Amino acid sequence: MAMAAWYHRDISRVHAEDLLARAGRDGSYLVRDSESVPGAYALCLLFQRHVHTYRILPDADGLLAVQVSQVRWHLGNQTIVCEVIGLLNNYLFSELPLDIENVHKGATTLCHLRRTLGNACQGLNRFQVVLITGIHGFLSHNSLSGSHLFQKRDSFCTLLQLMKTRHSQLSEPDLVSVFVGTWNMGASPPPRSLQSWVTCCGLGHTLDESTALLPHDIYALGTQENPQGEREWTEHIKATLRSYAHIDFKQVAVQSLWNMRLAVFVKPEHESRISHVNTASVKTGLGNTLGNKGAVGISFLFNGTSFGFVNCHLTSGSEKVLRRNQNFVDILRLLSLGDKQLSVFDISLRFTHLFWCGDLNYRLDLDVQDILKHVSKREFEELMCADQLTRERHKRKAFLSFNEEKIAFPPTYRYERGSRDCYLWQKYKTSGVRVNVPSWCDRILWKSYPETHIICTAYGCTDDIFTSDHSPVFATFQVGVTSQFSSKTERAWIELEGIEAIVKTASKAKFFIEFYSSCIEETRRSSENDSQSCDVPGFLKLGWSFKQLPQLLPVTSNMEYLQDQHLLLSVKSCDGFESYGECCVALHSLANASKQFETFLSHRGEEMGSIRGWVRVHVPKDKREKREKIYGGSTGTAPFLVSALLALSLPTKLSSPLSLGSFTLL
């Protein structure tokens, strides 16, 4: 492995960084004496033009060691033991002093560390360099606070994943990072620099400083009350990205509605992977005729994965919750994005990953003084109990089955412009004084197909952009993506062995099911149901046996392709062809085994019933080989470490668990 390595006894931090910058090669490192702790060493590592520094501390006996114990973390009700920590533990206590002694004698590599990591990584040589940064993740709790320790562990995992992705020898990526931002600009020009926004610096769940400046693959920035024109605004964003990432990002699309904007950018190397770009807008102001409120959207395919982005500005006013809910439904129904063949489905089911941001304008139903008291104590969970959006989601009246990361930042509205020291909650108008209690108006949510890989890695707001009465909000995600396959050799097929559904209707009509997917050659439909009963007034129980269901033929038979695909189902009446509910089913675990799926049916954002069925995907034996994903599991130690640490340190959190509600299969 080509890299530069030195040991210097008397060298400053600035000089060390200068030496590494001259080397200019990822993985170059330098070991020096610590400037602040006598007898300690500093390990400086160059990665993506940034120098990451880690301290190796002496213990009470003067030996160079790190206090480490076997660690167990819990993920749900599964206990994962990171066995590789034992390898590092043995190295730190037994072999690290030998490496340091060899460096003193003029050695240019840490041979014992290299061997230890070689055993762990099982041949991922280029991967080993970044594993060096993992040392700081196991430092003593005496030297790092708990929250800082976990933040550093998150940073380590991110760097680990990036290096594994970079050197995986894949022609197409398995994993991309996505930035989503929303900001109500308050009709004021933006500051010269927006770097804190696009690098997730500020309050809440932010990125660690060692990874904050690493560029994302996709940037989607939504604004409301934006006084700048499209060209001026997009050039401002590109200049901001260029100033810190040193990359000229390519614009995928920009869409505007009055002063609402949504702009999407990608790294230059991904430009050829983007296709089927669509843009759309919907007006929801004054009887759906004015564009002061509404939504703009952009959608596209990234290789074989569909992305949708929506930026909206919903009705304002504390008392107008129902109107905001209706705005959401109107946008779901009317925003024309994605595959036109999926027009029977609302946009929440048209994309592998749908990101929804904007000034949603949901407020806090609480006295302003109580809000201010909780904010001063950073008691955000208590405030979330009064959050209108959280309540409406719990009642399943809006954003059904969407996810939102836990909020750990102050309400982003309504601030006094020019600072973030106080909320200006009284607004003087000709009609009198209007109270705008501090609220989380600005939100970012997402919805993904089942059994897909997506992890929210940051969710917060800036604290240094003062031009508006709203703070900009940011979120970042690790998102699994799939490749395109075109092979049409030996055929696989999808067998539907039986389906049952409960639909909310008083109709006595017969029903059929339509099946949609980008992985099948054409839309197919079942025969009418062959069993039907009404055990509960207002609900019909429907059944389709094997004979009534079609055989679905995928466009390709590769297991690697099929395991990432999804079926969209729509239950329709035979007399009017009206949909009574839709759902999404993942094919991930259905290959060559009869598996049951069970989920709820929804229509235009409302829960309409439930459905379950038995499906088997038949794949020819010579097409069953599966390549392990970058973000997947492995039998090897190092990939096990990656998947375990990523799952543990970067969990996907929901502000509220969503269930099937009252619609239970009988």
296 domain residue, yes or no: yes
**pLDDT of res. 279:** 98
Evaluate whether 41 touches 32 at the Cβ level (below 8 Å): yes
pLDDT digits (tens, 9 = 90+) for 64-75: 543 322 333 333
Pairing of strands 442-448, 175-184: unpaired
User: For the domain that residue 447 is a member of, what is the CATH number?
Assistant: 3.60.10.10
As a whole number, mean pLDDT of residues 537-541 equals 94
As a whole number, mean pLDDT of residues 406-412 equals 98
* CA gap 72, 131 in Å, rounded: 20
* CA gap 546, 345 in Å, rounded: 25
As a whole number, mean pLDDT of residues 462-468 equals 98
pLDDT digits (tens, 9 = 90+) for 33-62: 777 667 777 777 777 677 777 777 776 666
**pLDDT of res. 89:** 61
Q: For 316-322, which contacts have Cβ atoms below 8 Å and span 24 or more sequence positions?
A: 316/361, 317/361, 318/363, 318/365, 318/435, 318/436, 318/437, 320/361, 321/362, 321/388, 321/392
Kindly compute the dihedral angle of the four CA atoms of residues 582, 584, 590, 593, in this order, to the nearest 10 degrees: -20
Amino acid identity for residue 563 in this structure: Q
In the chain, helix, strand, coil percent, each to 5?
25, 35, 40
| Residue 277 shares a structural domain with residue 354 | yes
- Give me the helix-helix angle, 111-121 and 637-649, nearest 10°: 80
| Residue 25 shares a structural domain with residue 93 | no
pLDDT digits (tens, 9 = 90+) for 630-654: 776 433 333 333 333 333 333 333 3
* CA gap 284, 486 in Å, rounded: 41
| Residue 62 shares a structural domain with residue 106 | no
pLDDT digits (tens, 9 = 90+) for 181-231: 999 999 999 999 999 999 999 999 999 887 888 999 999 999 999 999 999
| Residue 581 shares a structural domain with residue 606 | yes
Any idea what the Cα angle at residue 506 is, between residues 502 and 512, rounded to 5°? 50
426 domain residue, yes or no: yes
* CA gap 631, 647 in Å, rounded: 9
User: For the domain that residue 501 is a member of, what is the CATH number?
Assistant: 2.60.40
pLDDT at 63 over 70: no
Q: For 249-252, which contacts have Cβ atoms below 8 Å and span 24 or more sequence positions?
A: 249/219, 252/277, 252/298, 252/300
- Which alpha helices (DSSP H) does 349-399 contain, by range? 368-376, 380-384, 388-394
- Out of 608, 625, 642, a domain closes at 625
- Which alpha helices (DSSP H) does 487-595 contain, by range? 559-562
Pairing of strands 218-224, 175-184: parallel
Split into its structural domains, the chain has a count of 4
397 domain residue, yes or no: yes
As a whole number, mean pLDDT of residues 531-542 equals 94
547 domain residue, yes or no: yes
Evaluate whether 395 touches 350 at the Cβ level (below 8 Å): no
391 domain residue, yes or no: yes
| Residue 446 shares a structural domain with residue 508 | no
306 domain residue, yes or no: yes
As a whole number, mean pLDDT of residues 299-315 equals 97
* CA gap 39, 35 in Å, rounded: 10
Evaluate whether 337 touches 349 at the Cβ level (below 8 Å): no
Which one has a higher pLDDT value, 638 or 352? 352
**pLDDT of res. 11:** 72
* CA gap 96, 63 in Å, rounded: 9
| Residue 497 shares a structural domain with residue 459 | no
Looking at the DSSP assignment, which residues form a beta bridge with residue 481? none
pTM: 0.76
Which one has a higher pLDDT value, 137 or 559? 559
pLDDT digits (tens, 9 = 90+) for 3-40: 556 666 667 767 777 788 777 777 777 888 777 667 77
Looking at the DSSP assignment, which residues form a beta bridge with residue 533? 541
657 domain residue, yes or no: no
- Out of 480, 512, 533, a domain closes at 480
Instruction: List the beta strands (DSSP E) in 57-155.
Output: 72-75, 78-81
**pLDDT of res. 657:** 34
Which one has a higher pLDDT value, 349 or 592? 349
| Residue 505 shares a structural domain with residue 602 | yes
pLDDT at 143 over 60: no
Looking at the DSSP assignment, which residues form a beta bridge with residue 614? 498, 596
| Residue 120 shares a structural domain with residue 102 | yes
- Out of 480, 503, 534, a domain closes at 480
Distances (CA, A) of 277 to 30, 260, 339: 46, 19, 10
The rounded mean pLDDT for the chain is 82
Looking at the DSSP assignment, which residues form a beta bridge with residue 80? 73
> Would you give the DSSP letter of residue 172?
S
User: For the domain that residue 38 is a member of, what is the CATH number?
Assistant: 3.30.505.10
| Residue 159 shares a structural domain with residue 178 | no
**pLDDT of res. 240:** 97
363 domain residue, yes or no: yes
| Residue 436 shares a structural domain with residue 548 | no
Evaluate whether 519 touches 555 at the Cβ level (below 8 Å): yes
pLDDT digits (tens, 9 = 90+) for 485-519: 655 456 889 999 999 999 999 888 999 999 999 99
Evaluate whether 602 touches 582 at the Cβ level (below 8 Å): yes
The residue range of the domain holding 590 is 493-625
Q: Shortest CA distance to 188 belongs to which of 527, 467, 513, 469?
A: 467
**What would the two tokens of residue 204 be?**
């809440």
pLDDT at 424 over 90: yes
pLDDT at 137 over 70: no
Evaluate whether 268 touches 242 at the Cβ level (below 8 Å): no
Range from 260-269, 404-413, 503-512 carrying the lowest mean pLDDT: 503-512
Question: Which residues does 477 contact at the CB level (< 8 Å), separation at least 6?
Answer: 177, 178, 180, 355, 446, 454, 455, 456, 457
| Residue 195 shares a structural domain with residue 325 | yes
Three-state secondary-structure class, residue 617: strand
**What would the two tokens of residue 188 be?**
């004021």
pLDDT digits (tens, 9 = 90+) for 73-130: 333 333 223 345 556 666 766 777 887 778 777 776 677 776 776 665 543 333 333 3
**pLDDT of res. 216:** 97
**What would the two tokens of residue 49 be?**
């033009």
| Residue 365 shares a structural domain with residue 475 | yes
**What would the two tokens of residue 562 be?**
């099929």
Is the backbone of residue 106 left (phi > 0), alpha (psi -120 to 50) or beta?
Answer: left
**pLDDT of res. 74:** 32
**pLDDT of res. 643:** 39
Distances (CA, A) of 234 to 246, 278, 477: 17, 18, 22
As a whole number, mean pLDDT of residues 421-447 equals 90
